[in-house]
Structure 1
Amino acid sequence: MYKLCYFVPESHLEETKNALFEAGAGRVGDYDSCAWQVQGQGQFRPLEGSQPFLGQSGQLETVSEYRVELVCEDNLIRAAVAALKLAHPYEEPAYEVFHMEDL
């Protein structure tokens, strides 16, 4: 089992979650569409050559984003990450994948 954590602007929160759920992520036992989310502030500065969804090249940008966490079965994690990348508006979406131990 893996835990996938990613950061997304509110405008694409539901779209990215739905893409992940359709890829099979977010299942816990007899439940699906399971996720945890919290709103916070992210920051970045697009560098020369970037094509930012938000902000302008060379300028520091602060944006309201959601941190979303959900679990994913081993055999679905690559498809889930691919679905996230397709649904996410950012050129370089920030995400983390953690391998979970069954204790």
Structure 2
Amino acid sequence: MYKLSFFVPEENRDAVKQALFDIGVGRIGNYDSCCWQTLGAGQFRPLEGSDPHIGTQGEVEMLPEWKVEMVCEDDLIHQAVAALKQAHPYEEVAYDVWQLADI
């Protein structure tokens, strides 16, 4: 089992979550569409050669973003990361993948 977490602007949050739920991410026992989400502030500066969805090259951008976390079965993790990257609006998606211990 893995935990997948990512950062996403509010206007894209539900669509990105749904893309992951549609392939089976976020399932715990007899429940699906499970996730944890918190609102925070993201910061980045698009560099030369970037094609930012939000912001301007060379300028620091700070905006509200949601951190979303959900569990993912071992056999879905590669498909989940691919679906995340396809559904997400950012050129470079900030995400983490953690392998969970079964204790």
TM score, norm. by length of structure 1: 0.99
Aligned match of 1:55: 55
Which residue identity is paired with 1:97? V
Aligned match of 1:19: 19
Aligned match of 1:82: 82
Moved over 6 A (4+): none
Aligned match of 1:73: 73
State the alpha-carbon separation in 2 of the partners of residues 23 and 66 from structure 1.
Answer: 21
Aligned match of 1:32: 32
Q: Secondary structure of the equivalent of 1:38?
A: strand
Q: Percent identity?
A: 59
Unaligned runs of 5+ in 2: none
Compute the displacement of 1:24 (Å). Answer: 1.0
Which residue identity is paired with 1:59? E
Which residue identity is paired with 1:49? G
Aligned match of 1:94: 94
Give the alignment's Cα RMSD to 1 decimal: 0.4
TM score, norm. by length of structure 2: 0.99
Which residue identity is paired with 2:66? Y
State the alpha-carbon separation in 1 of the partners of residues 71 and 40 from structure 2.
Answer: 21
Compute the displacement of 1:23 (Å). Answer: 1.5
Compute the displacement of 1:15 (Å). Answer: 0.5
